[in-house]
Amino acid sequence: MNKRVLMIEDNEQNRYMASFLLERNGYEVVAAHDGASGIALAEHCKPGLILLDIQLPTMHGYDVAQALRKLKVLNKVPIIAVTSYAMVGDREKALQAGCCGYIEKPINPETFIADIEGYRPKEGE
């Protein structure tokens, strides 16, 4: 199973915390600080999972998700919105944009890995 995670997150503290937890659990993290660089990285780094902040500078996370879904190489790669957007309808917007999951910020360090692993394809899928 591909344990490379592309994290598209503009907040340095959020990137640090999530990267720390992921790397501690055997994941390789490739990070981008905005949507455009995340899209460019996604084509080349071949992630097994994408963690996507929705509130990004210059390009909204929903637009990033839609652009990522247009890339054939990412057809089956889970995209998980990790966002502070927690109003009624925000989860649905993320799913409509192409995300397959949604995790609210601030992330819970005790459950974060289990949360994302629930979205990863099982072996053989």
- Domains identified in the chain and CATH numbers: 4-117 (3.40.50.2300)
Which tens digits make up the pLDDT trace of 23-60? 999 999 999 999 999 999 998 999 999 999 999 998 99
Residue pair 67/41 in contact by the 8 Å Cβ criterion: no
Task: Give the C-alpha separation, 125 to 119, whole Å.
Answer: 12
In terms of pTM, does the model score above 0.85? yes
Task: Give the C-alpha separation, 64 to 29, whole Å.
Answer: 18
- Res 125: pLDDT: 54
Of all residues in the chain, the percent with pLDDT exceeding 70 is 96
Helices 61-69 and 35-45 meet at what angle, rounded to 10? 30
Name the least confident of 56-60, 82-86, 94-98: 82-86
User: Can you tell me which residue has the tokens 């109003």?
Assistant: 87
Taking residues 3-14, report their average pLDDT.
97
Taking residues 76-84, report their average pLDDT.
94
| Residues 6 or more apart whose Cβ sits within 8 Å of residue 91 | 81, 102
Q: Quote the mean pLDDT of the chain.
A: 93
Count CB atoms within 10 A of the CB of residue 4.
16
Taking residues 83-111, report their average pLDDT.
91
Taking residues 86-100, report their average pLDDT.
89
* Burial track 73-106 (b if 16+ CB lie within 10 A, e otherwise): ebeebbbbbbbebeeeebbebbeebbbbbbbebe
